[in-house]
Amino acid sequence: MRPLVGQGRIRERGGAVSPPASITWGGGEVTFDSRRWTCDDAEIEWTSPHHLIVLTEAGGTATTEVRVDGGRAYDGRDAPGALSFIPAGASRYGAYRRADMSYAAIWIAPETMDRLAGRPFRAPAPFVNGEDPVVAALLRGLRDDAAAGLAPSAAYAEHAVALMAMRLASREGARPAPREAPGGLSRRELARIADHVDAHLAEDVSLADLAALARMPVDRFARRFRAATGLAPYAYVLERRVRAAERMLAASELSIAEIAFALGFSSQSHFTTVFRRRNGATPQAWRRAAAPGS
């Protein structure tokens, strides 16, 4: 086993690891990794330039000892649902005995965390085997996509990271952000966003790009966009792609694979899954039903 980000060394006895399901965004700014790890005994000494969040999904250890920057952070055992956070630049030492566990981990560059949080990220003190159901649910969603071979859109990944940043910052007892005036985005802002999305349907539209169109930090934009449309930004992008797919299926002779590629889906199967989830029919069935005289 070797963590994907940072430098250090691992000593283990009787170890085995499943092939990882990994996804990387932004040229390495965000890296996600999910795998199963077993060993009799292991020691890990590691330092990462990125923030690290780890969720134990299943299984656990007989004993776990973790020290961060030389101080004791945890002495007990890993168990399902346990969440850990190690800030960027912190040295981590871990000793594990009789490990048999599946985990999901995400590494996030500090500057990316700042940008997506909409302000300098106030990292909480490192913690090991804590809990946060929201962060855990976000990691499980990324795990499911990785296991299915689907690369989530940049907008979805950035939205998930922004939510993780807000949840983690709240652990430190930071003062809440000033209350905003109620309401969503203006019609002009929504029209600008719709035009941008429609012009870049074949590309990986990012949440940061959409927020820039409204001249807002990412977190404020995401809240106001949902208030205006009832959808998260990444769901809106998928919705525009599906609506464009309906028009192409009805008016063109392009194959299903060609339409999927033209609209930025990672594969024909991904396109079919999204289209059927929203329309209750596969693209092929929808095309037959939309044909003249059907």
> Mean pLDDT across the stretch 14-40?
86
pLDDT of residue 68: 93
pLDDT of residue 235: 85
pLDDT greater than 70 at residue 119:
yes
> Mean pLDDT across the stretch 139-145?
88
Q: Which of 287, 200, 280 is nearest to 251 (CA)?
A: 287
pLDDT greater than 60 at residue 172:
no
Do 92 and 219 lie in one domain? The reply is no
Q: Using one digit for the tens of pLDDT, what is the confidence trace for 183-207?
A: 678 888 999 999 999 999 998 888 8
> Mean pLDDT across the stretch 134-150?
86
Instruction: Give the predicted TM-score (pTM) of the model.
Output: 0.69
Q: What is the dihedral of CA 64, 69, 71, 72, to 10 degrees?
A: -10
184 domain residue, yes or no: no
Match 């890993």 to its residue by tokens: 78
Do 44 and 158 lie in one domain? The reply is yes
178 domain residue, yes or no: no
Percent of the chain with pLDDT strictly greater than 90: 43
pLDDT greater than 70 at residue 281:
yes
Do 233 and 137 lie in one domain? The reply is no
Q: At 66, is the secondary structure helix, strand, or coil?
A: strand
What's the Cα-to-Cα distance from 173 to each of 74, 117, 124, 137, rounded to whole Å?
Answer: 21, 16, 9, 22
**Residue 197 to residue 244: CA distance in whole angstroms:** 11
CATH code assigned at 150: 2.60.120.10
Do 161 and 212 lie in one domain? The reply is no
Q: At 238, is the secondary structure helix, strand, or coil?
A: helix
Do 132 and 28 lie in one domain? The reply is yes
Match 């795990």 to its residue by tokens: 143
Number of domains in the chain: 2
Q: Which spans in 215-280 are helix H?
A: 218-229, 233-251, 256-262, 268-279
Q: Using an 8 Å Cβ cutoff, are 8 and 45 in contact?
A: yes
Do 255 and 123 lie in one domain? The reply is no
Do 30 and 142 lie in one domain? The reply is yes
pLDDT greater than 80 at residue 292:
no
What domain range is 35 assigned to? 7-170
Do 148 and 210 lie in one domain? The reply is no
Do 154 and 97 lie in one domain? The reply is yes
> Mean pLDDT across the stretch 244-269?
91
